[in-house]
Amino acid sequence: MNWLIQVLSVTWFALRTISQRKGAAAATVIGIGGVAMVFVGVLSIGAGFSAVMGSTGRDDIVLVLRAGADGELSSGIGGPEVKLIADAPGLARAADGTALASPELFVIINIPKRSTGTDANVPFRGVGPAAGEVRGNVQIVAGRMFERGRNEVIAGAQAAREFAGLDVGSTIKLGNTEWAVVGLFTASGGAAESEMWTDASVLQGAYQRGNTYQSVRVRLSSAEQFQVAKDALTTNPQLNVKVVREGEFFAEQSTVLNGYITTIGYVIAFLMSLGAVFGALNTMYGAVAARVREIATLRALGFGPGPVVISILVESLALALLGGVVGGVAAYLAFDGFGAATMNWQTFSQVAFAFRVTPELLVQAAIIAVFIGLVGGLFPAVRAARLPIASALRET
C-alpha cells in the first residue's frame, strides 16, 4: 500500500513537471505522432483498395472463365457455351425458370482523368440482361438504365467522379461509334462502380467480337452449391472453363497492390520508429538529467527505486500515447475518405477507391507508439534508479 502511494505520488509529480520541459516533450509527441500518422496514412491506401475489392466479391456469385485465363481480359467464351453454362445445376433461377447468368464482355477504353486530363484506361463492360439480378446490388442513382440494342451506356458513380465526360446526357465517341451516357449506378462501393456498362450484344458489334464473350457471371442458389456447379461445369466435355468464386477472384487482384503498400508502409514505419526512438530517448534522458537533484532528494527521503522507474516510464508512455493519438487523429482527418484511383494491373484498367482509416490500423499505430514510448523510457528510467544518491544531491 505504502509502495503504491509512493508510485502514485512520484508519477503525479513527474507528469506535472512536463510543462517545464515543453520543447523537448513536444518534440517527442511530434516525432511519435509522425510515425503513427505515416503508418496509418500509407496503410489506409491498402485498406481502401481492399475494401473496394472485398465489397465486390460475394460467395454465392461465381465467375466462369476459359481454363488457363488469369483474368477477364485473357478469357474467351463462345455464345453456344454460354447456354451450356446456364444449364448447369446449382444456379439460382428467376420465376420463369431462366438461370441468373450474365454473359459479359470486357474491353478497355481511353477516357481522360478529371484531375490530370491525361488518358486513363477505363473498363467498359457489356452485360447480359440478368447482370443486375446476378449481382443483386446494382442501383441506378441518376438517369435510367440503358436500352438493350442501343448505343447507350450507364456509368459507375466512381467512374463518373474520376473521369471526364461521363455525366448523364453527355456523349462519348469511341472509334467511329458514339455512345450516350443515360444513367449512373452504384454497386455497394464495389469495383463495378469504376466501370461503364452497356448491352453485351451492342458491344460485340462495336468491337467485331462476333458471338463471343469473355466471362459468364452466375448466381448460385446458395453458396454451398459452389462445388456442385463447379464439378458440373469443369467435367462437361463440351466446355473448357474454370470456375472461381467472385470473392476469391477479387481478393487475388488486390494482393499485388496490397503487397506493395504493406511493404512500403512497414519499411517507412520501421525507419521512422527508429528515428522516433532516438528522439524519445533524448527527451527522457533530458528529463532525468533535469531532475537529478529532485530524484535524489526523493530517494533520500525514502522513496524506493521502483516508483522512480515507474514514474519515468509512465511519463514516457503518456507522451508516446499522446503522440499516437494526435498522429492517428491527424491521419484520420487527412486521409480517411480521400478519393483516388489507380491501375489494377490484372485488368489493366483503373479502379477508383477511397482511403480508409480503419480501427485496426489505429490500434496498430497505438501499439507502435506505446512500444516506442517503452523503449524510450526504459533506459533513462534505469539510469535514474541507479543514481548514486549522495553525489546526485550535490549536482547542480
Partner 1 sequence: MKFLHLVWRNLTRKKLRTILTIGSIFVAFLLYGILGAVKLALVGGVEFADANRLVTRHRVSIIQPLPVSYQARIARIPGVNLVTHQSWFGGIYQDPKNFFPNMAVEPETFWEMNPEFTMPADQKEAWQRTRTGAIVGVTTANRFGWKIGDRIPLNAPIWPSKSGGAWEFDIVGIFEGTKKVADTSAMYFRFDAFDEGRVYGTGQTGWFQIRVDDPQRAAAIVAAIDEEFANSPAETKTEPEGAFMQGFASQVGDIGTIVTAILGAVFFTILLVAGNTMAQSVRERVEEIGVLKAMGFTNGLVLAVVLGESMLIACVGGAIGLGLALLATSGGSPVPAMFPVFYIPTPHAIVGVVLIVALGVIAGVLPAVQAMRLRVAEALRRGG
d(CA 96, CA 304): 84
> Which H or E run includes 153?
strand 152-156
Contact between 281 and partner 1 (CB under 8 A)?
Answer: yes
Q: Using CB under 8 A, which of 23, 97, 210, 237 touches partner 1?
A: 23
Contact between 192 and partner 1 (CB under 8 A)?
Answer: no
On whether the CB atoms of residues 73 and 347 are closer than 8 A, the answer is: yes
Q: Using CB under 8 A, which of 264, 322, 370, 393 touches partner 1?
A: 264
Residue range at the interface with partner 1 (CB under 8 A); choices 84-92, 110-118, 220-228, 311-319? 110-118
Residue number with CB closer to partner 1 (201 or 344): 344
Contact between 118 and partner 1 (CB under 8 A)?
Answer: yes
Ramachandran region, residue 284 (left: φ > 0; alpha: ψ -120 to 50; beta: rest) = alpha
d(CA 32, CA 327): 8
Contact between 107 and partner 1 (CB under 8 A)?
Answer: yes
Q: Using CB under 8 A, which of 36, 134, 166, 261 touches partner 1?
A: 261
**Beta-sheet pairing, 241-245 with 61-66:** antiparallel
C-alpha count within 13 angstroms, C-beta hemisphere, residue 388: 4
**Residue 91 CA: distances (Å) to CA of 88, 155, 205, 215:** 7, 28, 29, 16
**Taken in order 359, 361, 362, 366, is the CA torsion positive or negative?**
positive
Place of cell 469495383: 191
Contact between 113 and partner 1 (CB under 8 A)?
Answer: yes
Rounded least distance, CB 64 to partner 1, Å? 15
Q: Using CB under 8 A, which of 87, 119, 248, 360 touches partner 1?
A: 119
Contact between 69 and partner 1 (CB under 8 A)?
Answer: yes
Contact between 286 and partner 1 (CB under 8 A)?
Answer: yes
> Total number of residues binding partner 1 (CB under 8 A)?
52
Place of cell 504493406: 262
Residues found near partner 1 in the complex (CB under 8 A): 23-24, 27, 30-31, 34, 38, 41-42, 45, 68-71, 73-75, 107-110, 113, 116, 118-121, 174-176, 260-261, 263-264, 267-268, 271-272, 274-275, 278-279, 281-282, 285-286, 340-343, 348, 350
